[in-house]
Structure 1
């Protein structure tokens, strides 16, 4: 196909916001949408090549082996270098749990299933995801999964469906887009990471390649469309943020924007701008820059033990740029020479599969034995082991896993919540309801142990603050509204305890919710936000111990939570409701409690309390917790539990 410089310039518009967003430049809050621009470009270029071969006047010369040969030569060389460098850096810098997790992500990347792996283990915007060096490979996995079936689909349409490419690609785009729109508000992680809700983005590029874009002759109209495309991309980068539903409707900004530039940018002033040498250069190294920038950021942060300061941002950007340039010159380009292109496809594909198999073996070895590749002090191992706290019996007991009273993970409806069991009051006993997101589940058991004479009910929905008409995934609003509107009015509860990972966007709903609950419950108590960390707290604490530092650096603490707690407290107290400033309890005078016993971290991830941490919190606030003077409160129930910590 004919080279189009403006498409390399469009790649620059895609990669620069992504890198800036990952580096922490807050003004480019929607920089993650650059990935969607890449999807459209990829769909257009690959489909143009495939259709050109299928519809060649001299006869159909498309070969699936030749297609995968091109994919191997395009994707694998730079990816292999980055994977090898990642394993080496992970061995040198990471703690054993992190190193083993990096090995698992290498396996997922080599299988082009990292989108599924990270969908199952983390969220793209989650704090714990910020230190996973191969998180960004999810988009490569989406592309390669698409190219498993899409070329075969085009061949099938060409041979059996009258070459009606636009019709069948268009149907694919519509179905995928509809799925994405429907799924995003219900299960945003699934919509974000998995292929079905992303197909339409690659498919739109394919539609343009198939000639579906309406013809617009040379003139002002064509230029306006191209500039409109750039404007849409810019709006996505500058106007969207992590809190906005995505992909869904909001993905239209980068996707349609990229489509307009591709369809109408050639021969326009917008195309001329994108064809300038600096943007073309950035576009040409964009793949290597995408591969390198995220591991550089992650390992730099791990080595420094804190978030990036302005000087740090400049350093990681410069290093990423240098590595990308070297990678493009000495890794990517040598595999694009005529001599390499003449190597038979079976040999190239075979070598590519062998390379991937090697990384499968390496990643599996790291996962199985990586903890033994270096020696660590025993206390460091004990603390770091809490990154696997979610897999322990203690965690299951603390959160009441399997009791039917908590919805978490990737549930797409509220059917798992056992309303009859979980919302059953007991006459003759005080009845308390602990309600909220996963942070409510973290303290529920500790509250129940502190008040053994009470019947302490639990209604927790992951990611769902305990508010009327709450924002969140599908089960959120249905379950919370049912509890507040159908159950609470007739339950005669002695107390409702609201716990959540509060956001400023929740504030408008706090007062109406409290006004609703006030006349219906004996007491209402709101737990404020806890202290949060920029990463997984056990690893932060273990790394500081390994470095001989007593405690986690203040720079690792999320600076916004203190102000959020104070603001929420003002709203709650103005309604005459009791407020527990969890942040202040855990960080009196700004000095945060980090352990709840010898080598027992207060928190198991960015902010969820361990069982020992939750009991320590309740012990500190118990005497001030307004849950009824007639109810005896037993301090012994909050003594340390037997040591069931995960083995290092």
Structure 2
């Protein structure tokens, strides 16, 4: 999971304003506002300064506990008195959540209208539609994977947690109403639910971390912990004030040591959850609760924490999109201050007036506004980013090439129908009948496919792009590729292309740009050499001619950042020195050269002439980018490199274009 995939939702129903607490609500606790402040500051500072608080993202877990406690306590109170109304419950939820949320989404869509390319705006529209329906977590779970874009380029990614929370509150009030009068069984049901959800989360994280992170069942235990505490407190239980210190220590430990990625949430989520649980459980008369958590500064951050969270991620995301890279420290500091100002204004001039207004039509207006946001977001997604916007028309040629992961040649129905469904990502074949050319590698093989099928000189060939097979990749795809070659003697050519790594003199992988050695991986040069030799031997055995594409120049930024856009000049120039490129490629080129020397029947194609002259290499040709993202050819680039490949093939009498 990527960094910003951590987020918070604090859509709880408690107010921090003493004189406007509804009769059905609990008495105001200033220390809980202080706990909110700890949570929101942890998350915001983590997103803005990730090396400062490496586990600050666990603030989301703190908020789940707060929300579960406060909302459940109010549900228990009304159910016990016989005054609970599901309509009134959701009426309060709408007043609590919608004012700030609608404002933030509308501003994001408005800003994106002028600033984003069509594919970017389409993604933003999809995020807005998911957010308006409170199913962002489901949407982000379904789109995660190989083709997923960086989390920092998703301005509304943080709405996933609102989805988890609202999905909990669809079932929880009904469960309380049905089980409340069962007495002790209710508490047992709560404990059982917590145990089952937590154990399931710990188990599923071993095989599907993304599911454990996004899907509601694996997060429900965190909200249910708050609900259990509310039930225990209602029955007179109260922790010693010392527990708040222990709780704070657990939260600090999670901020200091928790790491995003394969092991979170799992066991790590226990630290912030139990930390928040202990702080809320301890008496608010304790020194920590009364003097620190309930101090004016902490309460202020708690008051504005919901809009503060809602604003901070879109602002950081848009800054990153506009600049094409992580903003400077000064820009990030300014962004956090700006978000705090926005949050304060949103709370005092939007959230508070609308939330506590006595006018009945406010709720109807908020619902209609949310529906409008969702419908417009859906429209933006369905129209591929409203390409007739002025900002899109001005850069139409550029926008058509900047398709990111929406590369249309990833797979097609014909290929899927012809071959066993074991492929991971790629399966494209344009013509019915036995294939004559197979692409071997990963997405770097697949990004040649567009140019290959569009070139008239290759019209006799039936080209198959199948699977994802590279050293250390998916063996099932490699096995299936070899099975296809074995079963189809029509295949006469195999093209191998990879995201070739940068290798040091010791054979280990290095950072593509800096040249710094990367941890782990062992002797990668030996693995690649072994893989290539074995693959060529197999192809020779089946009468297949092998063609290896040498590496191309690499950058670690999106090529769109080499072009100006509204509100931002070009951040990069998409140019590397010839020396940089040679340093990137020297290690893997040496491997390919050794393989070619062992197999003189193999053909090796150099891609660099498309990019490089005597001094430098450019990823832009005739004013247009050659790549659709920072790695892969777009259709224009694929077409140009295959044009060169065709001419090279003719000169070397390979036979693929005869």
Q: Normalising TM by the smaller chain, what interval?
A: 0.7 to 0.9
Q: Aligned pair in 2 of structure 1 residues 203, 368: CA closer, same or farther (>3 Å)?
A: same
* Counterpart contact for 1:603–1:613, Cα < 8 Å: yes
Partner of 2:222: 201
Q: Aligned pair in 2 of structure 1 residues 443, 173: CA closer, same or farther (>3 Å)?
A: farther
Query: In the alignment, is residue 316 of structure 1 matched against residue 335 of structure 2?
Result: yes
Query: In the alignment, is residue 285 of structure 1 matched against residue 304 of structure 2?
Result: yes
1:181 to 183, 202, 206: 202
Listed one character per residue, the Cα deviations across residues 412-471 of structure 1 (whole Å, up to 9, x for unaligned) are xxxx999xxxxxx99xx9x977244x444334676899999999986635xxx8454x6x
Partner of 2:368: 354
1:141 to 158, 163, 166: 163
Rounded Cα–Cα distance in structure 2 between residues aligned with 1:571 and 1:29 = 38
Residue 218 of structure 1, CA deviation:
3.0
1:608 to 622, 632, 657: 632
SS at match of 1:209: helix
Residue 322 of structure 1, CA deviation:
0.7
Partner of 2:132: 110
Rounded Cα–Cα distance in structure 2 between residues aligned with 1:130 and 1:590 = 34
Q: In proportion to residue count, which structure has more helix?
A: 1
Aligned residues: 587
Query: In the alignment, is residue 48 of structure 1 matched against residue 73 of structure 2?
Result: yes
Partner of 1:333: 352
Rounded Cα–Cα distance in structure 1 between residues aligned with 2:616 and 2:494 = 31
Q: Aligned pair in 2 of structure 1 residues 366, 516: CA closer, same or farther (>3 Å)?
A: closer
Query: In the alignment, is residue 262 of structure 1 matched against residue 284 of structure 2?
Result: no
* Counterpart contact for 2:126–2:381, Cα < 8 Å: yes
* Counterpart contact for 1:5–1:275, Cα < 8 Å: yes
1:479 to 471, 476, 481: 476
Rounded Cα–Cα distance in structure 1 between residues aligned with 2:143 and 2:449 = 24
Residue 401 of structure 1, CA deviation:
6.5
Q: Aligned pair in 2 of structure 1 residues 574, 519: CA closer, same or farther (>3 Å)?
A: closer
Rounded Cα–Cα distance in structure 2 between residues aligned with 1:163 and 1:621 = 75
TM-score by length of 2: 0.71
Give ranges in structure 2 of 5+ residues lacking alignment. Answer: 1-25, 429-433, 502-510, 512-517, 538-545, 597-603
Partner of 1:554: 572
Rounded Cα–Cα distance in structure 1 between residues aligned with 2:188 and 2:362 = 34
Query: In the alignment, is residue 166 of structure 1 matched against residue 187 of structure 2?
Result: yes
Q: Aligned pair in 2 of structure 1 residues 487, 186: CA closer, same or farther (>3 Å)?
A: farther
Residue 528 of structure 1, CA deviation:
6.5
Residue 152 of structure 1, CA deviation:
0.9
Q: Aligned pair in 2 of structure 1 residues 155, 545: CA closer, same or farther (>3 Å)?
A: closer
Residue 584 of structure 1, CA deviation:
11
Query: In the alignment, is residue 78 of structure 1 matched against residue 100 of structure 2?
Result: yes
Partner of 1:233: 254
Query: In the alignment, is residue 20 of structure 1 matched against residue 55 of structure 2?
Result: no
Residue 227 of structure 1, CA deviation:
3.7
Residue 526 of structure 1, CA deviation:
9.7
Residue 151 of structure 1, CA deviation:
0.9
Partner of 1:640: none
* Counterpart contact for 1:91–1:99, Cα < 8 Å: yes
Q: Aligned pair in 2 of structure 1 residues 393, 312: CA closer, same or farther (>3 Å)?
A: closer
Give ranges in structure 1 of 5+ residues lacking alignment. Answer: 410-415, 419-424, 471-475, 638-648
Query: In the alignment, is residue 434 of structure 1 matched against residue 431 of structure 2?
Result: no
Listed one character per residue, the Cα deviations across residues 231-284 of structure 1 (whole Å, up to 9, x for unaligned) are 333235xx414x444333443343333333333474555545433333332222
TM-score by length of 1: 0.72
Residue 52 of structure 1, CA deviation:
2.4
SS at match of 1:434: strand
* Counterpart contact for 2:129–2:373, Cα < 8 Å: yes
Query: In the alignment, is residue 296 of structure 1 matched against residue 311 of structure 2?
Result: no
Residue 324 of structure 1, CA deviation:
0.7
Listed one character per residue, the Cα deviations across residues 544-599 of structure 1 (whole Å, up to 9, x for unaligned) are 277997xx5328999xxx89984994798599668999899868899664346774
Residue 183 of structure 1, CA deviation:
3.6
SS at match of 2:440: strand
* Counterpart contact for 1:292–1:324, Cα < 8 Å: yes
Query: Counterparts in 2 of 1:558-573, with a 5 A limit?
Result: 566=584, 569=587, 573=591
Residue 97 of structure 1, CA deviation:
4.1
SS at match of 1:508: coil
Listed one character per residue, the Cα deviations across residues 331-356 of structure 1 (whole Å, up to 9, x for unaligned) are 2222454xx3x566xx6654432332
Partner of 2:16: none
Residue 624 of structure 1, CA deviation:
11
Residue 608 of structure 1, CA deviation:
3.1
Query: Counterparts in 2 of 1:482-497, with a 5 A limit?
Result: 497=496
Residue 71 of structure 1, CA deviation:
0.8
Listed one character per residue, the Cα deviations across residues 606-634 of structure 1 (whole Å, up to 9, x for unaligned) are 53332443465577799999xxxx99546
Rounded Cα–Cα distance in structure 1 between residues aligned with 2:300 and 2:366 = 27
Rounded Cα–Cα distance in structure 1 between residues aligned with 2:643 and 2:287 = 67
Partner of 1:3: 28
Q: Aligned pair in 2 of structure 1 residues 372, 223: CA closer, same or farther (>3 Å)?
A: closer
SS at match of 2:42: helix
Query: Counterparts in 2 of 1:514-533, with a 5 A limit?
Result: 514=528, 517=531, 520-522=534-536, 531=554
Residue 140 of structure 1, CA deviation:
1.5
Rounded Cα–Cα distance in structure 1 between residues aligned with 2:586 and 2:228 = 49
Rounded Cα–Cα distance in structure 1 between residues aligned with 2:522 and 2:236 = 45
* Counterpart contact for 1:398–1:442, Cα < 8 Å: no
Rounded Cα–Cα distance in structure 2 between residues aligned with 1:547 and 1:256 = 44
Query: In the alignment, is residue 33 of structure 1 matched against residue 58 of structure 2?
Result: yes
Rounded Cα–Cα distance in structure 2 between residues aligned with 1:586 and 1:3 = 65
Rounded Cα–Cα distance in structure 1 between residues aligned with 2:217 and 2:84 = 26
* Counterpart contact for 1:96–1:371, Cα < 8 Å: yes
Rounded Cα–Cα distance in structure 1 between residues aligned with 2:420 and 2:136 = 30
Greater Rg over alpha carbons, structure? 2
Rounded Cα–Cα distance in structure 2 between residues aligned with 1:96 and 1:447 = 26
Listed one character per residue, the Cα deviations across residues 79-134 of structure 1 (whole Å, up to 9, x for unaligned) are 12222222322223233443444334333222222333334446799654423322
1:383 to 398, 402, 424: 398
Query: Counterparts in 2 of 1:119-158, with a 5 A limit?
Result: 119-121=141-143, 127-158=149-180
Q: Aligned pair in 2 of structure 1 residues 408, 18: CA closer, same or farther (>3 Å)?
A: farther
Partner of 1:95: 117
Partner of 1:69: 91
